[in-house]
């Protein structure tokens, strides 16, 4: 599928620096859909091994566990951790103990405290740790951030509504503790908004709609504010059929900015500033390469903290059972 | 009741440094039960005003709001914020904007993100901000911390069980979002354990028992771990009748440490190391004086982060309705 090991030219062309040998921990849906193509086309990385007890890839050395992979490939420089969320901490800890650079899929952990512990460990070990919020690498995010930096912001509207049956078929974990329900996509919106707005914000009020047979919400309404009392409203819904909505609108003293289609389309005033194909994971791996080469970390817990705040402070309402 | 304004000798005796003029924001149960006696007997502080729309104190200038108090007493150096939790952020922000030192009753905010924002503001303003975890000033905490610093820890058991009808009569807010239910006392245990254990820990599994007519749990079982896989177990219960239990036991390579009675009694092995009257708020105000004089902050969000993690990652079970 990848054939990277048979294409050593990748190592010597296209990039003045040598490629980084990386291992993939957890060969599931997100790894195959996003990480493998991104690593495959990256000038920075070379996939040398995978670790997964249930799955391996043609043409890539496969190990049953991270420990076995680290033992088998001592020259490994970095790992990307794509396991289910609740296993990320233990895997990241082992990788950091072995001095590897670590990329964590989003969310970076099942709890904030375990992410804090990883930050401390990475710091002690001097290893780069990267909490990879993929939506921050959507095409319009950087330009939106730049444009908003100097504006007076009057109001923010976030609408993140998708059909869980289409995007998460059979993924029962999403309804269990740690699965976060509609916050699984919603945290992507939060990762963008925390990136593009010039000031930190925080929850004032939330209602969470939880199906009677689930642990996590299927929909949420969130009212945030910042230190200047800017109203920031978010509506997340997993029950959207028909057209899907992943839009952020920011009203400013200089007109409205609309970052829509998950960040792929940026409109300021009436002008389409940018409309591009989604290549989030390419940008994400370019950033990880920078971090590994500089030996620095980039772990922003703000998106996960907002989710934890919503669970802590939100008002729960029981709604109809969810049947897939 | 206090008569501090009629006792100017307090200003000039007992302490080589001048006393700090403090205002109290929110004159409710915790202010009257704990803050007023502690300020009254403190060599460091002089209560000069209160701010509360519904309540004032004999012999102390009373204002209806923090803004009015700041306007009326421009020389105020510090404020203690004892309002309901969800109002703390807005009050603290105003006080920091006016350059005052700020003490926040526990928990320091309704959400983690608003506390982070206060930390940033205090930092920008150069104002001391103190998240006051009163249980950390229980008599045995410092000695327990010191003794545990060098020990190999095998196991930790936390039992925090009290009768909500005795300790929180009529306090319906405790069952609303932000009231935290049994975590209102439980966070005191967490504030001690995060202080005395030498390593950070994090949640692995939790079950929360939520009454069918409440938003917040009446009981919780929590399993934590640390980077050395130490098992740390906590049982919180609000339905305890008869003897009340606020105990922490730590098994080490050098025997068992038991910090019981909310931190007032410390037993190591078979020896009673310490058994003292609870004077938490005296220690807390002594610490706040240090911070105000040094112009530094002390905001540890770890206890609140653990509670947010439990709400985020805990499994909820509906139990019998709570009727007071």
How far apart CA B180 and CA B191 sit, in angstroms, is: 15
Q: For residues B228 and B286, what is the distance between their CA atoms, to the nearest angstrom?
A: 35
Measure the CA–CA gap between A291 and A282, rounded to whole angstroms. Answer: 14
Interface of B with A (CB under 8 A): 89, 93, 110-114, 116-117, 120-121, 176-178, 180, 200-203, 206, 215, 226-227, 302, 305-309, 311-316
| Average pLDDT over every residue of A233-241 | 98
pLDDT of A3 over the 80 cut: no
- If asked whether residues B154 and B252 sit together in one domain, one would say yes
- Please report which confidence band the pLDDT of residue A4 belongs to, taking 50, 70 and 90 as the band edges: very low
Domain annotation covers residue B4: no
Torsion sign over Cα A77, A83, A85, A88: negative
Token duo for residue B141: 């905490």
Place of tokens 């930390």: B119
The pLDDT, as a whole number, for residue A2 is 35
| pLDDT of res. B278 | 86
Q: Are B306 and B293 in contact (CB under 8 A)?
A: no
What's residue A17's pLDDT? Answer: 72
Q: Which of A29, A106, A151, A161 is catalytic?
A: A106
pLDDT over 50 (residue A253): yes
Predicted confidence at residue B63, as pLDDT, reads 98
**A81 and A67 fall within a common domain:** yes
Is A260 part of a structural domain of the chain?
Answer: yes
Q: What is the pLDDT of chain B when averaged over all its residues?
A: 94
Do both A314 and A170 map to the same domain? yes
Q: What is the pLDDT of residue B16?
A: 52
Q: Do A176 and A257 have their domain in common?
A: yes
- Contacts for B28-35: CB closer than 8 Å, 24+ residues apart: B28/B52, B28/B55, B28/B82, B28/B83, B28/B84, B30/B82, B30/B105, B31/B80, B31/B82, B34/B134, B34/B280, B34/B281, B35/B80, B35/B82, B35/B281
Longest Cα pair distance anywhere in chain B, in angstroms? Answer: 58
For residue B195, the enclosing domain spans 139-276+309-319
pLDDT averaged over every residue in chain A? 94
Q: Is the model's pLDDT at B28 over the cut of 80?
A: yes
Is B122 in the same domain as B185? no
In a domain, A149, yes or no: yes
- List the CATH number of the domain containing B217: 3.30.360.10
pLDDT at A52: 98
Q: What residues of chain A have any CB closer than 8 angstroms to a CB in chain B? A: 89, 93, 110-114, 116-117, 120-121, 176-178, 180, 200-203, 206, 215, 226-227, 302, 305-309, 311-316
Extract the tokens encoding A100. 């590897």
For residue A174, tell me if it sits in a domain: yes
How far apart are alpha carbons B287 and B291 in whole angstroms? 6
pLDDT in tens, A74-131: 999 999 999 999 999 999 999 999 999 999 999 999 999 999 999 999 999 999 999 9
User: B314 with B190, same domain?
Assistant: yes
- To the nearest whole angstrom, how far is the Cα of B19 from the nearest Cα of chain A? 32
A312 closest CB neighbour out of B111, B202, B316: B111
Give the position of tokens 């020389």.
Answer: B75
Residue A106 a catalytic site member: yes
pTM of the model: 0.94
Contact B113 A201 (CB under 8 A): yes
| Whether B200 and A120 lie within 8 Å, measured CB to CB | yes
Q: What is the mean pLDDT of residues B35-46?
A: 97
Give CA–CA dist A105/A300, Å, rounded: 13
- CATH value at residue A87: 3.40.50.720
Measure CA of the first residue to CA of the last residue in chain B; give whole Å: 32
Provide the edge-to-edge strand list for the sheet that holds B101-104. Answer: B61-63, B45-51, B20-25, B78-81, B101-104, B129-131
Query: Chain B partners of A307 at a C-beta cutoff of 8 Å?
Result: 312
pLDDT of residue B238: 98
pLDDT tens, position by position, B202-242 = 999 999 999 999 999 999 999 999 999 999 999 999 999 99
Q: Are A173 and A110 contained in the same domain?
A: no
What band does A16 get if pLDDT is binned at 50, 70 and 90?
low
Q: Give dist(CA B96, CA B25) in Å, integer.
A: 13
d(CA B112, CA B100): 22
Looking at the fold, whether A266 and A146 belong to one and the same domain comes out as: yes
| Cα angle A108, A4, A49; round to 5 | 50
State pLDDT tens for residues B129-152: 999 999 999 999 999 999 999 999
Q: Which of A87, A249, A98 is nearest to A178 (CA)?
A: A87
Are B198 and B259 contained in the same domain? Answer: yes
Tokens 């439990």 identify what position? B310
Task: Report the range of poorest mean pLDDT among A121-135, A153-167, B2-16, B236-250.
Answer: B2-16
B163 plus B70 within the same structural domain: no
Indicate whether B165 and B219 sit together in one domain: yes
Q: Which residues pair with A80 in a beta bridge?
A: A24, A103
Instruction: Domain count for chain B, please give it.
Output: 2
A258-315 per-position pLDDT tens digit: 999 999 999 999 999 999 998 999 999 999 999 999 999 999 999 999 999 999 999 9
């Amino acid at each position: 599928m990848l054939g990277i090991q048979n294409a050593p030219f990748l190592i010597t062309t296209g990039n003045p620096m040598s490629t980084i040998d990386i291992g993939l921990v957890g060969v599931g849906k997100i790894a195959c859909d996003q990480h493998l193509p991104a690593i495959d086309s990256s000038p920075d990385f070379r996939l040398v091994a995978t670790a997964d007890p249930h799955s391996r890839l043609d043409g890539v050395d496969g190990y049953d566990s991270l420990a076995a992979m680290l033992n088998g490939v001592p020259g490994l420089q970095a790992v990307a951790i794509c396991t289910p969320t609740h296993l990320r901490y233990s895997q990241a800890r082992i990788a950091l103990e072995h001095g590897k650079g670590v990329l964590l899929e989003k969310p970076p952990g099942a709890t904030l405290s375990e992410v804090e512990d990883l930050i401390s460990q990475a710091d002690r070990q001097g290893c780069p740790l990267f909490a990879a919020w993929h939506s921050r690498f959507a095409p319009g995010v950087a330009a939106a951030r730049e444009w908003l930096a100097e504006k007076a912001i009057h109001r923010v509207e976030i609408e993140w509504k998708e059909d869980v049956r289409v995007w998460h078929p059979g993924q029962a974990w999403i309804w269990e503790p740690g699965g976060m329900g509609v916050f699984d996509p919603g945290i992507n919106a939060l990762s963008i908004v925390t990136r593009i707005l010039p000031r930190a914000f925080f929850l004032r009020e939330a209602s969470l709609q939880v199906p009677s047979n689930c642990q996590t919400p299927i929909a949420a309404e969130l009212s945030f504010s910042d230190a200047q009392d800017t109203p920031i409203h978010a509506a997340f819904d997993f029950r959207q059929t028909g057209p899907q909505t992943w839009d952020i609108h920011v009203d400013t003293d200089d007109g409205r900015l609309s970052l829509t289609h998950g960040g792929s389309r940026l409109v300021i005033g009436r002008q389409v500033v940018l409309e591009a194909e989604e290549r989030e994971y390419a940008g994400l791996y370019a950033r990880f390469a920078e971090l590994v080469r500089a030996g620095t970390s980039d772990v922003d817990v703000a998106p996960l903290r907002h989710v934890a705040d919503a669970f802590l402070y939100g008002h729960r309402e029981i709604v109809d059972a969810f049947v897939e």
